[in-house]
Amino acid sequence: MTATEPERAPASSTNRGMSRRELLKTAGLASAGAGLARGANGSSGVFDYRLLLGWINDNSSRPLAGKRWPITDVDEQTVLEYSAFLKTAHECGYNGITLWGLYASHAWAVQLKDSLEPRRRHLIDRILNTADKLGIKVLYGLGVYSWGFEEIIRHDPTTARNEGRMAWGSFQPDNGVAMCYHSESARQWMRDIVDLCVKEVGTQGFGFQSGDLGRCYCTQCRRLSDTEYHSRVIDETAEYIKRQHPKQILGLSAWGVDLGGGPDSLQPLARHLDFLTDVTDQSARQGRDHRRALTAALPCALGSLGGAVIVPPQRWPRDRWFLPHAEMTATSIRSLSEDGGRAFEFFMGPLGNPQYNLMTRFVGLLLNNPTQSCERTLTQVVDRLWAPTNGGAEADLVRWLLAVERAYMTRVGDISSGEFDFEPLKGETAGEPIYLTRLPPRALAGYGSDLERLSQQLPSLISQCRRPRELQLIGRCLENVLRDVRQVRERVHGSH
């Protein structure tokens, strides 16, 4: 079976493992101003908000294990890696980065300043200073009434009511992670954290999330629809920031938030925001006309994560996977631009993995010129990374990369909306390759066959490049992917 004659997975095919959404949905008590600078040419086609997004270690060159996700440890190597990472981001035209876990992941310290441990603070300050010198705005990834409040809720029970929560459309009987909108003490904690981030950390904005871990579903809060609830907590927090710290940039990544009510229902949610990221492209699924009407009516920029949110493995060696997704992402960026969208957040990953080195550069260039073709943008990246010796080799490399992408994407079914995980997030050690187990047997066999064929073409391409090292790394990545394919076929599908 060739890449042009794939065995497709059904559209409803799901991961065999725990995804980010499932992990957050089931988390219990125990786990319980002005826009950014426009492009240099001032073109209206350039996205105003060209951001990277992720947890502090999503771009780490090292596999991290031994703790529950997300692991937010920081050391000298983290600082060095951000120096190179942010330089690449600047070169490729990004103007902001939303970082989660700078100082807290699941739990702010009850004495808030204790979260800013001096050694860590020194390391984080160096990362922020590097970003500032490069003209990249750093937005603090901030849970609004959820994400980060586990210790606070235990210490101050008036902040939450253990009457359950609503997470991703399902009622969860436990709580301990989401504060109550009707609690005055919760409101004060929220404001104190904002002030700490601005005055002590020195962030230049906030990337909000209010629905990822769920919302309070106590007797009072459940009287509010999801749209009303999230509109109130976001608008209240955003209004406070714009009043007290007017230069801060504010965006919302709408994980777990229903945006289906249309422009009028979203006005209260968005009126103090600079951009609103439609994480799973809900508006696009309702039709291009619907999204165009939304971008025209919203008081802020509408953004996307590209439909499919490709989440990097945290615990795998960095040479274990290679899945470029340029064609899919280019389609998403182009359609968003045509519909009036002016914000995009690319879920970052380690530049030490050639997929993320390629895609980080590709997305940055395309956000600065969204009308440019996928092939032309890939050509620019290929030239920069590998320096092919002639035009024929350059074109062959672009075709080869697209063939690697299509070998998987034409078989997996529709992944254009939602999260895509390589491994489960649960546990503390490296997990199985769930991106392969979601392929049915014939599709997985066809994918393996295509990768074998494409791997055999790589030495000839390498010989025509002046900078072949990363292409050699891609070869090693493909060897490891093929090993995983064989193991999955033997273990899960019973093939030999």
Question: Of the given ranges (42-56, 205-219, 400-414, 470-484), which has the lowest mean pLDDT?
Answer: 42-56
Q: Could you read off the pLDDT of 387-425 as tens digits, one per residue?
A: 999 999 999 999 999 999 999 999 999 998 788 999 998
Q: Could you read off the pLDDT of 257-305 as tens digits, one per residue?
A: 888 878 888 999 999 999 999 998 989 989 999 999 999 999 999 999 9
- Indicate if the pLDDT at residue 363 is higher than 60: yes
Buried b / exposed e over 139-168, threshold 16 CB at 10 Å, is bbbbbbbbbbbbebbeebeebbbeebbbbb
* Cβ atoms within 10 Å, residue 317: 15
Q: Using CA atoms, how far apart are residues 125 and 132, in angstroms rounded to an integer?
A: 10
Q: Using CA atoms, how far apart are residues 348 and 126, in angstroms rounded to an integer?
A: 20
Q: What is the count of structural domains for the chain?
A: 1
430 sits in the region (left: phi over 0; alpha: psi -120 to 50; else beta) called beta
| Helix, strand, or coil (residue 139) | strand
Closest CA to 1 of 471, 461, 487, 439: 439
Give the residues across from 488 on adjacent strands: none
Domain that holds residue 50: 20-372
% of the chain with per-residue pLDDT over 70: 90
- Dihedral sign computed on CA atoms, order 34, 35, 37, 43: negative
Residue 446 lies in a domain: no
Confidence of residue 495 (pLDDT cuts 50, 70, 90): low
Phi, psi of 30 (to 5 degrees): -70, -35
Residue 394 lies in a domain: no
- Indicate if the pLDDT at residue 81 is higher than 50: yes
Span between the terminal Cα atoms of the chain, in Å? 17
Quick one: tokens of 242? Answer: 């714009």
Closest CA to 230 of 198, 273, 193, 194: 273
Residue 77 lies in a domain: yes
Q: What is the mean pLDDT of residues 339-344?
A: 97
Confidence of residue 36 (pLDDT cuts 50, 70, 90): low
> In this structure, are residues 272 and 235 in contact, taking their beta carbons and an 8 Å threshold?
yes
> Cα dist. 355→97, 311, 320, 352, 363 in Å?
19, 12, 11, 9, 12
Q: Could you read off the pLDDT of 8-25 as tens digits, one per residue?
A: 344 333 344 555 545 544
> In this structure, are residues 163 and 217 in contact, taking their beta carbons and an 8 Å threshold?
yes
Residue 397 lies in a domain: no
pTM of the full structure: 0.90
Residue 313 lies in a domain: yes
Buried b / exposed e over 397-418, threshold 16 CB at 10 Å, is bbebbbbbbbbbbbbbbebbbb
Average pLDDT over the chain reads: 90
Per-residue confidence (pLDDT) for residue 3, from 0 to 100: 35
Phi, psi of 421 (to 5 degrees): -110, 140
| Helix, strand, or coil (residue 206) | strand
- Dihedral sign computed on CA atoms, order 254, 183, 109, 248: positive
Residue 8 lies in a domain: no
Residue 392 lies in a domain: no
Task: Kindly state the DSSP code that residue 477 receives in the 8-state scheme.
Answer: H
- Indicate if the pLDDT at residue 468 is higher than 80: yes
Residue 181 lies in a domain: yes
- Indicate if the pLDDT at residue 6 is higher than 80: no
The domain that contains 250 carries what CATH number?
Answer: 3.20.20.80
